[in-house]
Structure 1
Amino acid sequence: MGYYLLRLNRGTRYFFFIKGDPTTITYRFVYDKIQSESLPKALLEEGWTKITQSGHWHVITNEKPFELIKTSPVREGIIKHNRLIMYIFGSISIYLTTMTILFVGIFSLVAFSQDTPSKVVESPYWILTYIYFSAVLALWILSNYSVIKINKTNKDLSRENIPLYALHDIDQSEIRRSKNKEKQLKRSGQMVVKRKFGWMYAPDKLEHWLESMEEQGYHLYRMSKRGITFYFIIGNPRKVSYCADFQNTTDESYNDLHRDSGWKNAFISDSPFLKWTLWSRQYSAGEERPQIYSDKSHHLKHARRIATTYSCLFLPLMLINTLNIKFSMESTTFNNNLDTLQIISMISLTFVVLSFGSFIARTWLYYMRLRKQYTNYT
């Protein structure tokens, strides 16, 4: 159409164009906190030109045909920026969802436990009540939409095209077993299904459990989409090393590095926040157990990142619910009475706080176990 981007306003989201002769131009947005007037040499040699900048956002163009462009700007800056925003919206969504479930659960429990039917008294400021709940609902929808949209964008930017799982030494035709076939295997006793909840808070225990299952002849066939259910096929005992790897983001080159070393994907989570990959590698009885993190410092850093990530995720929720308990207790002291709804509410909030606290504690205990293990080896 002949409109060329001249500049943009990051605050108002306005894009300003200038009219010219129609042509084909490739645009790329780059997010870089390092202020630089010029592009890297490799991009300049490829024909890229920076046309405008707003804050940390840069817009660069290339007039070469798209199929002839061999070097493009790195997307890691945008991915990290998007991930931070996604974490914020995700935390808001988790908090609103948790509080809604607690509120509905407590209200339903009280309503069914009372002999007399409950009566809802409309607020004298009903318009403010409706506005408040409408705003909460709008925020919840916006948060979930943002998480889904940003997660899809990051996947497109990183060009990930990884299969959900790659089995160990099982024939690849077994991947497409139908549900009816799996039911037959279960009834015949050839397939065993087990569940592990919260294994990501203690990945070393999961690794040990899977390896002991393999030594007993239970071969991991697949995992459920959420990573909770484990499907095993009974076979001959074997030695298989497992590694639960946590990464904020991964690209194909990172996964190819492990695959080239003989590791296979047993599971890849589809979570937009916490990216878990379960790697497996079979080895002989006399061979040393292979490990992805052969360097002690890297392994400890990985464990510390797990503990830090889950602490940042659950600690704010713990503090918010602790404050809710505190306000509820102060209200009870002021009114000098305690009804059924308040009792159930305080018990539920306390359970939530203790649950989140246990998740955080388990991740740090994992880090301490690993550090103690390496200390004993030295």
Structure 2
Amino acid sequence: MIEKKVKWLWSYNIGKTEQWLSKMAKEGWHLISVNRWTRTFSFEKGEPRDITYRIQYNSKGNTLPKTLQKEGWSLAYSAGKWIFLVNEEQTIRLYPSRDALVKRNRTHAYVLSVISIFYISTSMLPIILVSILSSVMKGEEVLIENLWIIILSVAGIIAVASFAIYVFRTYRRFEISEMDAAIDSIPTGKRIRKFRAAWMYQLEDTREWLEGFAEQGYELERVRAAVFTFRKTEPNHIKYECMFEYKVQPSYFATHKEMGWKLKYSSNMTLLNYSIWAKHYKEEEEVPRFSYDKQEQRQSIKRAFRMNLGMSIYLVFLLSFSFYTNTLVKDEPFIAWSFGGVMRPLLFLGLLYWFYKFVQILISYWKTMKALD
């Protein structure tokens, strides 16, 4: 007996798909094929079995390494680059690597995000809305065709944005699980929160700031944007590392956790990734470091410096251009009850702030590099 089920977005929600396949096997339905185009899974009725499924994405063929075969893994089905593995062992000690699957879903998530941003930013909806508002204010009749265009435009924007958000969120959950990038929380202690704007642009100063709180008995629990949450503990010796990587490898988080580091923050992207790590040590012990090689430390500092300097220059240029167009082109007072009159002071303050941050980035880099000499 054959039964078919359609699961549209299964390739993005890998964890739930594997659980679903295992549940089907417990009910006596065993996977025999997958149609990648119609998203249809075909099952054959048999004896109920307790099976663990593992989905892989591999462009180098579907040959199963002998080490995995010895651990009980076998091929259930393959279609193109997709491989469905099964294991009926009660205790599984070794799981197949899924680096290629993480990279595939990451690419899809980033590409869809770019497409959705481009679609929304180039949409004619704002122009149409301004046109209708102008017609209403002039007492003119609004065409029904324009209303339908607005409805369709809004529906299109919602659909594209929703799909992009869904793909990115499911990919991120899968990546966190596969790369062991979960944040290590602190279960007890009174919480306090501190705000630190643009902390990513001064990683060394942020590190010293965090270590100062540790000496006072406050350990960092997590970071959301510019809000740092601390837990009240005993005064501790905690070494923090604030890192920037152009591209995080799949083993990056697991490797450092095995070395005793606790992950306190990681940005949502593994490309251009910022992270904060913490490690306890005793007073008589050597202060731990991510790397004891000075050349490697210099490279890490230079990497973050280039990224932060580039972003600050871009923001200064963008704010300068916006300030110029709103000040010299507009024929009205600097401050006025208008959109431009409100924006000009804000742009000016933003420009001053990022000039200040630009100088701080340069000074911080000079001090950090000098300390390594």
Aligned pair count reads: 319
Equivalent residue for 1:268, pick from 264, 267, 273:
264
Which residues of structure 2 form unaligned runs of 5+?
Answer: 1-27
C-alpha offsets along residues 1-45 of structure 1, whole Å, 9 cap, x if unaligned? 555333532xx2434637464564543221234x23523232244
Separation in 1, partners of 2:76, 2:360: 45
Quick one: percent identity of the two aligned structures?
A: 15
Separation in 1, partners of 2:52, 2:353: 47
2:146 matched residue in structure 1:
125
Separation in 2, partners of 1:145, 1:305: 32
2:205 matched residue in structure 1:
205
Equivalent residue for 2:88, pick from 65, 68, 71:
65
Separation in 2, partners of 1:367, 1:204: 7
Separation in 2, partners of 1:193, 1:69: 42
5 Å-filtered alignment, 1:1-378, equals 1-2=28-29, 4-9=31-36, 12-15=37-40, 17=42, 19=44, 21-22=46-47, 24=49, 26-33=52-59, 35-36=60-61, 38-46=63-71, 47-49=73-75, 51-54=77-80, 57-62=81-86, 64-89=87-112, 122=142, 125-158=146-179, 163-165=184-186, 175-177=187-189, 194-212=194-212, 217-223=215-221, 225-226=223-224, 228-229=227-228, 231=230, 240-246=238-244, 248=248, 253-259=254-260, 263=261, 265=262, 268-269=264-265, 271-273=267-269, 274=273, 276-284=275-283, 289-303=287-301, 306=304, 343=340, 347=344, 369=366, 372-373=369-370, 377=373
User: Structure 2 vs 1, CA of residues 254 and 13 (structure 1 numbering), >3 Å: closer, same or farther?
Assistant: farther
Amino acid at match of 1:51: Y
The alpha-carbon deviation at position 74 of structure 1 amounts to: 0.7
Amino acid at match of 2:264: I
Separation in 2, partners of 1:163, 1:66: 30
More helix as a share of residues: 1
Equivalent position SS for 2:152:
helix
Separation in 2, partners of 1:97, 1:135: 9
The alpha-carbon deviation at position 176 of structure 1 amounts to: 2.6
Contact 1:7/1:17 (<8 A) preserved: yes
Contact 1:242/1:279 (<8 A) preserved: yes
Equivalent position SS for 1:150:
helix
Amino acid at match of 1:61: L
Separation in 1, partners of 2:102, 2:229: 31
Amino acid at match of 1:42: T
Equivalent position SS for 1:254:
helix
The alpha-carbon deviation at position 204 of structure 1 amounts to: 0.8
Which residues of structure 1 form unaligned runs of 5+?
Answer: 112-116, 166-174, 183-191
1:170 matched residue in structure 2:
none
User: Structure 2 vs 1, CA of residues 125 and 233 (structure 1 numbering), >3 Å: closer, same or farther?
Assistant: closer
User: Structure 2 vs 1, CA of residues 140 and 195 (structure 1 numbering), >3 Å: closer, same or farther?
Assistant: same
Contact 1:50/1:61 (<8 A) preserved: yes
